[in-house]
Amino acid sequence: MTAAPILETTDLRKYFPITKGLAFSRVRGWIKAVDGVNFDISPGETFSLVGESGCGKTTTARIILRLEPPTSGAVRFRGQDIYALSGEELKAYRSSVQAVFQDPWSSMNPRMRIGPMVAEPLKYSSTMSPGDMKSRVAELLEQVGLEPAQANLYPHEFSGGQRQRIAVARALALKPSLVVLDEPVSALDVSIRAQIMNLLKDLQGQYGLSYLLIAHHLATVRYMSHRIAVMYVGKIVEMAETEELFSRPVHPYTQALISAALPARPGVERAEIILRGTVPSPVDLPPGCRFHPRCPQAHVRCSQGEPELREVSPGHYVCCDHC
């Protein structure tokens, strides 16, 4: 894709302080949750982040959503630094970028009925009459497989998966141009998961939506994504187009990750690459390549210089000097 990116991150970092003691305490160290992340997303593209639990995917998403300022680095949306926006521009950004989170329960007000909750973002665009708003909510609920009549229910009256569909409906309300999807379908059964993924793809086709997808289920990621970045403890270690990544994973971590995915049927044997050693803490990073203590292909030099992302074939980047 050659169009100018809709979103771009440059050397994004987020360090959380580790403190000890009472309120004005001493900082004992830093959790390097995101540690120099660069990527861009094109219009109409689904770009995915995968990687070990705790490697900084959600933190990256939260920075992009302006929920968490970065420690350093920048996020540009259509060329503009999002942390420099204010007034109308900020309002426009907030309606063009929407999110669906991992844990639908935590993003819902338990005392609010589903209808007003889905309609909430519509209030930003004040042009809608109450009647229009109601029919738009009905349409959105139907799109995600719920009944318009359910607009009168409260969140606790739905199952986990049903709540996730409500979150998708709300995110789509304003016809945004970028949607951040953090584990959007992991709480859904496979049939509704297929429905929602197909729906997301259709909306992308119709409106040229871009998605930043975060998901652990690799078959889901393969089905949805155009490009994928693999993260390991705060950094991107490999980035490539989907089919390239699945058919020719280069980084030893990516290889291990793909090998550990469960085949969906019994009796299918896959050679799993077992990673030994402990998961490094984002506080005390190992010297050199941060993966080297667990890397099955580690070399003596891997504990010395820290590797940089380099292009191994067109559009395929790997952060390893030895593979």
Ligand X SMILES: Nc1ncnc2c1ncn2[C@@H]1O[C@H](COP(=O)(O)OP(=O)(O)OP(=O)(O)O)[C@@H](O)[C@H]1O
Residue (9 or 220) nearer to other proteins, CB:
220
Q: How far apart are CA 178 and CA 294, in angstroms?
A: 36
As given in the structure block, the two tokens for residue 113 are: 């009925």
- What is the SS3 assignment for 246? helix
| Spatial contact of 25 and 19, defined as CB atoms under 8 Å apart | yes
Strand order in the sheet with 46-51: 97-100, 178-182, 210-214, 46-51, 227-232, 235-241, 316-318, 310-313
Q: Phi then psi for 166, rounded to 5 degrees?
A: -65, -40
| Spatial contact of 323 and 253, defined as CB atoms under 8 Å apart | no
Contacts with other proteins by CB under 8 A lie at: 16, 18, 50-54, 58, 102-103, 105-106, 145-147, 153, 156-162, 183, 186-195, 197-198, 216-220, 222-223, 242-243, 256-258, 260-269, 272, 275, 278-284
Residue (135 or 159) nearer to ligand X, CB:
159
Point out which span in 3-11, 57-65, 90-98, 193-201 binds ligand X (CB under 6 A): 57-65
Near Mg ion by CB under 5 A: residue from 160, 205, 296, 315: 160
Burial of 264 (0-12, 13-18, 19+ CB in 10 A): exposed
Q: Which of residues 106-165 bind ligand X (CB under 6 A)?
A: 156-162
Q: Which of residues 182-221 bind ligand X (CB under 6 A)?
A: 189
Q: How far is the CB of 257 from other proteins (least distance, A)?
A: 5
For position 25 contacting ligand X by CB under 6 A, the verdict is no
Residue (48 or 58) nearer to Mg ion, CB:
58
Near ligand X by CB under 6 A: residue from 6, 41, 50, 55: 55
User: What residues make contact with ligand X under the rule CB under 6 A?
Assistant: 16, 31, 33, 53-59, 156-162, 189, 282
